[in-house]
Amino acid sequence: MEKLRITTFGEFSIAYGDKIITEQSKRSKKMWTLLQFMIANHHRTISQAELINLLWGNKNSENPVGALKTSLHRLRSCLDELGLPDGQEIIVNSMGSYAFNNRLEADIDFDAFEALYKKSVAAQSEKEKTNLYLAAINMYNGDFLNRSKNDSWVAPLTSYYHSLYVRIVRETVETMYKHRYYNDLLTICRKALTIEQLDDFIHYYYIKTLFETGDKAGAKSHYAYVMDLFYNKHGINPSPEFVSLYEQTVKDDRSYNVNFGILKGQLDDISDDTGAFYCEFPFFKHVYQLEVRDAARSDKPAHLCLITAVSKTQEELEPRALNRVTGKLTDCIKNSLRSRDVFSRYSASQFVLLLTNTTKEQAEMVLNRILKKFKKDNPKLNCSLLYKCDKIGKVQQAEEEK
């Protein structure tokens, strides 16, 4: 006998045989809400009052019971298009309550997904657990009722299944990387990153695997994409473990023997870009450590500076505002420093600068010039800049804040 096939991950659909109804059909939002709510709560009966509150909330209605019956009639008419055998209904009612008809055989994806996870908890081997995880990953084609995930009753369920999916993916890619199942790992990561963009753990293994499979250009490109996504698009900091990948992804693919002329040409290939040199923080750290060694051998002063963007009340900026501020601040710092100076993004709201052959007074003059230029060029940005500055080699940090 045919089973109902109900999909809730990604595009909602309900199918029977070769007939299928999806959210793309031109039906009312209330009708879809009614059907989805009853499927999500298919293990219980639902009172008339609960359904009325679901559909209309606190809105006054002259005849809410009648309006509910009309909505249910329209829903049943829609479901009739599936062509179930006579006498079988998907929605049943009894004594003023309504329920999904559990006498019908139905494959519901969120039930199957959770069942796979529960089986994995009791799995006796890593292989068994991974196979269960792979089945669950294959089933999850998007967030639970994705089009309605902001509805108050849907949001908690969406969050629950999303978190469960990410947990399964994390464990799976870690296992696959350990056993060098690189192709499968990349496929899983690509799908997962369309569903969860901001999980740097998944990005981490995706980049490591690109690197391991020889796609160093892809690894570098994806690293740069993630740093921009986290810092500029969302104003958040990736984990230290993710940032550490820079050491692997920026290495050039050099052959064993290289012609000296080619080597010199690569070193002399200087960009036309003007202003101070911007680099990722791990590289900045190397430059800083070299400068510390040089400072120990010479009397040339150098200073480490930190600029932090905050709100006018000196609180954290909202991500959208932070994105605008840091973009402008990057340009301001770059164009205010000498070409030999180096700076980097230290966190979502902070930039670190290395000012060589510069006294404390000169460093503070430079910082004040940056602050004044930024304020002059961006008078409408609702933010403030704080700075700290200290001579390289000192243990204690300066307390200067502007």
**What domains, with CATH codes, occur in the chain?**
4-104 (1.10.10.10), 123-142+154-249 (1.25.40.10), 277-391 (3.30.70.270)
- pLDDT tens-digit map of 263-292: 555 556 555 566 788 888 888 888 888 888
- What is the pTM (predicted TM-score) of this model? 0.77
Q: Is the pLDDT of residue 392 over 60?
A: yes
- pLDDT tens-digit map of 86-128: 778 999 988 889 999 999 999 999 999 999 999 999 999 999 9
228: pLDDT confidence band, cut at 50, 70 and 90? confident
- pLDDT tens-digit map of 183-196: 999 999 999 999 99
Q: Is the pLDDT of residue 168 over 50?
A: yes
> 3-state SS string over the chain?
CCCEEEECECCCEEEECCEEEECCCCCCHHHHHHHHHHHHCCCCCEEHHHHHHHHHCCCCCCCHHHHHHHHHHHHHHHHHHHCCCCCCCCEEEECCEEEECCCCCEEEHHHHHHHHHHHHHCCCCHHHHHHHHHHHHHHCCCCECHHHCCCCCCHHHHHHHHHHHHHHHHHHHHHHHHCCCHHHHHHHHHHHHHHCCCCHHHHHHHHHHHHHCCCHHHHHHHHHHHHHHHHHHCCCCCCHHHHCCHHHHCCCCCCCCCCHHHHHHHHHCCCCCCCCEECCHHHHHHHHHHHHHHHHHCCCCEEEEEEEEECCCCCCCCHHHHHHHHHHHHHHHHHHCCCCCEEEEEECCEEEEEEECCCHHHHHHHHHHHHHHHHHHCCCCCCEEEEEEEECCCCCCCCCCC
- pLDDT tens-digit map of 318-367: 887 888 898 899 999 999 998 888 999 999 899 999 998 889 999 999 99
